Structure 1
Amino acid sequence: VVVFSSNPIPGNEKYVVRTVDGLMREGSAVIQNGKTHLTGVGPLHLSGHGYYDDHVKLISALNPKYYLPIHGEFHMLVHNAELAEKECAIPRDNIFVCDSGDVIEITPNGAKKNGRIPVGGIMYDDSGAIVSEVVLKDRIHMATEGMFVVVLTVQRGSGRLMTSPDIISRGFIYLRDSEELMGTIRQYLKQKVARSFGGKKIDLDVIKKELKDEITHILYDQTRRTPIVIPVINEIGGGGQNRDNANRPQQGAMANKPPRQVGGVVPKSPRKFPPRQVPDTEASDPSLRSHTETRAY
């Protein structure tokens, strides 16, 4: 015989039922409060908590200066606080109804609420710093949908694409099995560069956002998946006149300054190498094509 003398906690009913079923499968007789009464003793369980009058008697006997109800749902705390104010004459300002995370500061001058602290499930990294909710969401997103990186190398000033776009996929698709999709992405990137660059003032942050949104739409249309898209734009060469940044010093003014002498010796100017030029069209030789990552994890 197994006797349950307590009532199931709200929310745990299915686990209690599962336990009772398991006991009965093993041949046990199960007696539960509210369903079976032992002859001559009445209900097996009344309550594990004090009743209204019990609370009044206890608070009156203790006669506290400050009162802080704890345990139970928030509406229960509110009712308990009202009981202390109405029945025990505790001033309302001396009663604290707190939620999880509220801080009560107690000093020789009294007690008061003083801010909040983080509560609940909090993730920390190896250094002990709190990992923000945004970072956790990104990690979950990458774990389920993967990551897709596009790298563009353009010539500053002219906006010409210096190399074929590089594409890196992690946990999303295997690039060698998705050549048609990669061709669509590369064609879009070349057209985007031609429209967005080319001697006019540009804002790289705006272009990156447009790339992210538009590539995300293309990938979803083709795969019904939404990986984290990270666009990277490298600008090389040129004088930087097309960048929307008035605070940047002019390259020519810096170049006209004579080299600074160190210990009576004038340092040599660093050797300059021209950037590697790659035709806009794909080379016929596979070894000359864009360096696209093909590994998948």
Structure 2
Amino acid sequence: MSNIKIIPLGGVRENGKNMYIAEVEDDIYVLDCGLKYPENELLGIDTVIPDFTYLVENADRVVGVFLTHGHADAIGALPYFLEKVDVPVFGTKLTIELAKIGVQKNDATKKFRDFHIIDEHTEIDFGTTTVGFFRTTHSIPDSVGITLKTSVGNIVYTGDFKFDQAAVPMYQTDFARIAEIGKEGVLALLSTSSNAENATPVASERQIADEVYDTIKYWEGRIIVAGVASNLQRVQQVLNAAYRCNRKVVLTGQDFGRIIRTAMKLNKLELPDEDLFITQKEMKNYPPEEIIVLETGRMGEPIKSLQRMANGSHRTLRIQEGDLVYITTTPTTAMETTVAKTEDIVFRAGGTVKQISDNMRVSGHANPDDLQLMLNLLKPKYLIPIQGEYRQLAAHAQLAQLTGIPLKNIFITARGDILEYKNGQMSQAGSVPAENVLIDGIGVGDIGNIVLRDRKILSEDGIFIAVVTINRREKKIVSAPQITSRGFVYVKASRDLIRESADMVSEIVEKHLQDDEFEWSKLKQDIRDRLSRYLFEQTKRRPVILPVIMESSQRQKRK
């Protein structure tokens, strides 16, 4: 009887940051290593990655990282993980090439070379477990699901997928292989849940391609297309439509050049015409009705670029009268407000906005029917819904019950929960560390709740600084308190408040100077407490209060 544990380190009760552990006997298999982009409340944070503590502590047992596809939610945290745990990485050709871009940009991992290319026919025997793969449909080519064949059945991880009966060959799902895995017997299924609560049918990619073509064909002016760089299927549709409509394409976006070059090199993106692309300098040689500007980046970046184009702060482009801004990605819930504001700015600049989701539901993720079909093909004994907020995981659980899986065999987990299969039963057996690790600039994990709290206060009520110079030897204030405020009150209009605050600081400092047991920490804390109460009474605001006490050792000259 195999000793099996399944642990999600990310990707549950949240969207993105996919990382799951499957332990079979003494071996640990890492399934995906992704990041997520921060919500608005994580002020200044660039990205969020999983907590690797458990894997670092058990590094000698990790056999490798197995990747499902080339999006940031599956490969984005890989450079940070490989800094700490040096193990082989397995993925399809495009996935590995995209993963290399991030790994080689990181100084600590740029010499890492232990990459292994697999395809849907690959099987890797690790003794107690055989790892296999199956083709899936997603918005990027070379997407696969992963199977771990154990003595008690398969553990299956779907990765991101959807079923599209009209998918082009490069994106088609291998239904026969999935059914075969189901016949072999599936112990546990880890299946995506991000669309589990939305029963609206998702348009096929052929329908979307027709919609993209019609939009481009019938617009008489310049078109600015905003999309996610790694959604290669949408990029291909835009390029095809541009060629058919005799338009030239101008590429922008930081990540796009690397991604498109990689995809074209591997024949995962087809260029309809070698002369399709032009530079931004060459745009002036063509009338607006022959131009498409393709603005791409990671999630959220194209929308922010549109705002800069509309308000005139973009470094090279500006939205003009008659432009169509065509948003070809479905915004997340967190981005909906930003998109609405962007539309308003674009209309003010004279442009028009159209979203691809205006006429049809567009998604690269499985809808409820797809999820139930996957369950019926695989017939798992246990289901672990993953990748989604709690309500989406719960909706997936309800769908599973309708297919005949009992509720006791469905586990809605939190990050770090340990699911252990023992004596023929799966049950929860403790947890491991799995907090969010925040990336800010070059800092990894050095930003915590206290710093975020201070940033939040600064963003809401500003900062109030009191600077005073003292001479402890003579027990005197050498330089009267100077008050500086940013984001709290307009100083020139609040002279009385500033004067009273300075007097209060002087009073507190003089009192402490007369104390034989003078302590810097007590002085600063007293200033904070008294000023905080006073400022709140006067303004009902609580700024960050920063006392700066400087000491002068210079003796005063006697007259």
Computing the radius of gyration from Cα coordinates, the structure with the larger value is 1
TM-score, normalising length from structure 1? 0.48
Structure having the larger proportion of residues in strand: 2
| TM-score, normalisation: structure 2 | 0.27
